[in-house]
Amino acid sequence: MSKRKGTKDTLVRSFTGEIQQRAEGDDNQGCYTFKISSDEPAEMWHGIFETLGHKKEEVRLDWFQSGNAPLLWMHRRDEQIGVIIDARLSDSFLEIDVKFGASAKAKEVRADVDSGIIKNVSIGYRVHKWEALIEEDKAEEDY
Q: Which of 122, 71, 78, 63 lies closest to 99, judged by CA?
A: 71
Say whether pLDDT at 118 is over 80. Answer: yes
Q: Give the residue-averaged pLDDT of 90-104.
A: 89
In this prediction, residue 41 carries a pLDDT of 82
- Cα R_g (the chain), whole angstroms: 17
Q: Which of 104, 103, 97, 94 lies closest to 83, judged by CA?
A: 97
In this prediction, residue 22 carries a pLDDT of 61
